[in-house]
Amino acid sequence: MSKNAILSFPSLQNIDAEINLTGSKSECNRALVIAALSKGKVLVNNLSIAKDTTTLHRILSEIETDLEIVDVGPAGTAMRFLTALLPTRAKKYTLTGSERMKERPIGILVDALNHIGANITYLEKEGFPPIQINEDFKQITNKIQIKGDISSQYISALLMIAPTLPMGLVLEIVGDLTSKPYVEMTLSMLQNVGIKHTWEDNVITIETQEFKPTTLFVEPDWSAASYWYSIATLSEKASIFLTGLNGYSLQGDSVITEIMANFGITSQFINNGVQLKKEPKKIERKIFDCKECPDLAQTIIVCCAILGHEATFTGLETLKIKETDRILALQNEIAKIGVKLIERNLSYKLDCSGLFFPEKLVVKTYDDHRMAMAFAPLALKIKTVEIEDMDVVEKSYPNFWIDLQKVGFIVNTN
């Protein structure tokens, strides 16, 4: 039975701490797939302990055995990356996941793979997992088109297998590209292991190539760092050092340094890490575009809601097909403090006119790790905050509750 976290923060809200974050889930998952495709030439250092990554690591170590049914559970990145990787293995697999995973679309990626010669069929609902991957993949073309505004993980999945394909790949991105930094991350990591590419206009080309022997070092997770920026913003005084992070990250979520500067949080890169400090500042920025950093959306929206800052948010199109419908989940939970998130065409406006802080608040997580971590800082403003199903954080940040305790939060369970 799942446990809930009961949070409180009884001190003066002066936070002074050093936090060691786990490796980036995004970098690590890409590194593991690249290592598997390299057939031993590429090694990975600083593996993340996030559950999504440990799940993918385990599956990749098993697929060369007699494994026929591959179950990724709730790991969305693993589902997408394995959908592209498994057809290259010349074996028959059933790829499945949790009940929520069966509601998350995979059709665009399957269509692209079948177009170039894969043989992938659906076992239940058309366009959704579970899928059957047959062993008779024979490339018939290297040209594919794929929509850019659904999930950048489809594009990354295809780019990583491209150098192993007999004809390589010429991938045309149709329309706007959502989460462009994640595609750039994939290409940079491929470049680090000797894989060259060209990107002209909306066409990315990768020819058949050999991987070079390399060790990929995984940087700590900037997505996880975002929750500490939120905590710093909502505290009275904060000085937080996050080890291992640098100012030249491949991770798009490192933009949190620029975003939270609007809230008075300075970021100084020193001593192989980043020092966060809170400075008095009036918040003036009214529009936040999350198109290239959708995983930061919950952190920023909740932070603005707590501060009563009536900002507008754009670039949230992919949030409805994540671990949960994140738009609906946000609307439900911030309503509990009297705040509305109102949709207007493709933008969302916060109405904080009814903001209030009750003595106690119970937050649902909807099986979504980011809901738990985005709302946890509310304990700086509310006497008792209960976060349901606290173990969801294992997906990306298993030590989250332990780290909260290090800075003065009291974390009990029931």
Residues with a catalytic annotation lie at 295
Cα angle 360, 366, 372; round to 5: 55
CA 80 and chain centroid, separation: 13
Cα angle 266, 299, 190; round to 5: 80
Instruction: Label the pairing between strands 93-96 and 131-133.
Output: antiparallel
Q: Are residues 368 and 329 in contact, defined by beta-carbon separation less than 8 angstroms?
A: yes
Task: Report DSSP state, residue 337.
Answer: G
Cβ neighbours of residue 58 closer than 8 Å, sequence gap 6 or more: none
Q: Position 399: which residue type?
A: N
State both tokens at 73: 């559970």
Q: Are residues 188 and 217 in contact, defined by beta-carbon separation less than 8 angstroms?
A: no
DSSP string, 20-41: -PPBPHHHHHHHHHHHHHTTTS
Rounded CA-CA distance 208/221 in Å is: 31
Residue whose structure tokens are 């608040």: 361
User: How crowded is the C-beta side of 166, counted as CA atoms within 13 Å?
Assistant: 9
Cβ neighbours of residue 282 closer than 8 Å, sequence gap 6 or more: none
Q: Which of 392, 390, 411 is nearest to 402 (CA)?
A: 411
Rounded CA-CA distance 370/199 in Å is: 32
Q: Are residues 284 and 261 in contact, defined by beta-carbon separation less than 8 angstroms?
A: no
CA 17 and chain centroid, separation: 25
